[in-house]
Structure 1
């Protein structure tokens, strides 16, 4: 059933930033010093572990249809367009919930907001598991997307409250890596489980797992900060301030394409590509899906570590994030060209560079005061998941323009789709590069 790297609530304080890099950057407009960090080290690490597990649950939902796809096609008679639409309902629900989720995070805090919303995911998993047809499947996916919509933003906000800004790139990489285990689970492990049971039973199991996660958050996670006091009108004005921010408009196009394309392929279409273009068997494809997941995990951690050290050496976070997302474009071009590299190496590179878009969250966070961090994070996530929804549906529609033979699409169909997506990313990279000097100074 179907990221992110923000700074802390005080990330924009020049005094705090001076401890993170050798040459302290100038504070961003509108920033202000954040509150003192909580001193309870045990509670800090409990926050990291529990909120990371919540993101892991959301990531399993994100990609589980990759393993369910053959069973849904056989049982429900779905076409490629149907499957893309069904899978993308998760992303649609996730995206539509982002603006209200940002308001809830900034009003009630991450612990309560995530624990309550996860109950919607429980309901969605139950609806999906018992669905008699396409409409109920789609409704279940939509509910799941709404229910886990805050898992990423809650983790980001909680860490920003409990940890100093100098640790944020690495810690958010750790969160993404733990969540990325979900991408590993929906590869070979899910294929093994489906050889023992069916997709409906596994969906019921996910509902129980999600209920347990909600209870863990409610009863075991420390309260990560107090509730906000702004009225709704003030919160909506803050959301508008985020959406029209110059840095937001400069960074978002490349970030949403990087993450949207990576997620849409990783969570659904990579299996068909490996089958139809690379000639991989189902077992080989499942193993490569897990390889991508492991590579993404490593990329998240390494990117966070490298960002901090390279910034000390003089390479801005803005430039480093742009280089990583541009590297993803290069890897896709190599795949399209059929460069004779081993599949494990090629798809590992795809996972590593596909994770680079998470650094965009840190780039954005430095331009906003701490009171807007929840909304800035969820606004970018909204853009990413709308892009993922569009990619999953669009890829299926384009593939259906070619005839199907023995359940396969022509290799040319996939290559046309990938070529079009690369062209969009090249245009977005050029737009991102135009803001490099200002972005680097601001970061």
Structure 2
């Protein structure tokens, strides 16, 4: 219980960083003189650095364990948010977001490694979803509370307070997590790096990878970046009201994550559940593409529906985990997390360039965001189609020795 509490706290601050820019984006843009492309790159830099840092963090997880990995890496986030809070130029803020992404890199993967070693495969998705649901408090703090605090003391002072909280969680991670001795601690970093990269050559994972690239990327393009500017530009919604709408979306994400994990635990049909849930998340994107200026209340309910059904990441991890042997969990999950976070960075960056082009073409704000929703709906549709061709499960029902032999053979033959 103590370890799960620490993991929830660490995951909370990671979620806060993923979505904080959306609420205060207009204020940051005005203060640092950012255009849409720069704002998109600023938000995506967290996810891109987060994804790239999965390689070293995955190696550290498998070699030294989750306790040291999470506690050590999180200090990068402390320095990053400190730099962001004093930034006077775009590249200073960009460097701060890169450091934050690096600092949060092992948190989610490390939590899943702990859960994978403490719980049975049948309970993996449920416990992971539980940690995510509780950890979503950080996402909630990045909505209305951050908006109200920013209006009171300014966005820079607000982020300095977040820096202190991050430092406290880094200390708690070192003191509150148990010492674990991974079975792969004797392997060289070079061998671990080669094995980690070769995880992507496991053919059974290939139809699942587009969903890793698209599902979370589409979700965070809305919650983590463009929902705030969209509400401000199209409906002139102020900071506090934006915070309330995004809080509603965050609550729906937390509830949806927990409910999807609960359904998966009882139904044991992960692939089918991912497909159904993703289609339900696609429908409100299509509605927003058709009616981009119907009203802020309509937009709020669309965002809530996307949040309720769109966060299939734990289910995708549970699905992919059945194709990996236990000693490959750290590297495999880190690699898949890298792909997923890289997808967020690509989607956010591409959407930023799209809106920058639409703005330079002098399109009305509603039409600019209409193009955005069409792009996001198209990306998710393609990913769902490819995912339908994936296998339902791997070899999780076989003895560990068989799984180990199967995965090792795949890696060696890659």
TM over 0.5: yes
- Report whether the alignment pairs 1:236 with 2:193: yes
* 1:98-113 superposed matches below 5 A: 98-113=54-69
For structure 1, which segment, 358-367 or 389-398, has the greater mean C-alpha deviation from structure 2 after superposition? Answer: 389-398
CA distance in 2, matches of 1:403, 1:251: 35
1:222 to partner: Cα distance: 1.7
Q: Name stretches of at least 5 consecutive residues in structure 1 with no aligned partner.
A: 1-44
Which residue of 159, 179, 194 corresponds with 2:135? 179
Match among 380, 388, 413 for residue 425 of structure 1: 380
Give the match for residue 319 of structure 1: 272
Residue aligning to 1:395? 351
Q: Does 1:299 align with 2:252?
A: no
2:290 corresponding residue in structure 1: 337
Q: Are the structure 2 counterparts of residues 51 and 389 from structure 1 closer, same or farther at C-alpha, using a change threshold of 3 Å? A: same
Asked if 1:412 corresponds to 2:379, the answer is no
Counterpart CA distance in 1 for 2:181 and 2:252 is: 33
User: Is 357-366 or 217-226 further displaced after alignment?
Assistant: 217-226
Query: Is it true that 1:385 corresponds to 2:338 in the alignment?
Result: no
What residue is the counterpart of 1:143 in the other structure? 99
TM-fit CA distance, 1:413:
1.3
Rounded to whole Å, the distance in 2 between the matches of 1:137 and 1:351 is 28
Q: Which residue of 1 aligns with 2:308?
A: 352
Structure 1 pair 69–240 and aligned structure 2 pair: CA distance change class (3 A): closer
Structure 1 residues 56-88: Cα deviation after superposition (integer angstroms, max 9, x where no partner)? 011111111123322222221111111111122
For residues 203-228 of structure 1, the C-alpha deviation after alignment (integer angstroms, 9 at most, x for no partner) is 22222111111110111222244462
Matched, 1:434 2:386: no
Q: Please, which runs of 5 or more residues in structure 2 have no aligned partner?
A: 397-414
| 1:343–1:396 Cα change, 3 Å | closer
Q: 1:87 to 1:169 in 2, by over 3 A?
A: same
Q: Is the 8 A contact 1:321 1:357 kept in 2?
A: no
Q: d(CA) in 2 for partners of 1:102 and 1:129? A: 29
Aligned counterparts, 1:4-403, within 5 A: 45-226=1-182, 228-277=185-234, 280-311=237-268, 316-338=269-291, 342-403=298-359
- Secondary structure at 1:195 match in 2: helix
Please give the root-mean-square deviation of Cα atoms over the aligned residues, in Å: 2.2
Instruction: Select the structure that is richer in helix.
Output: 2
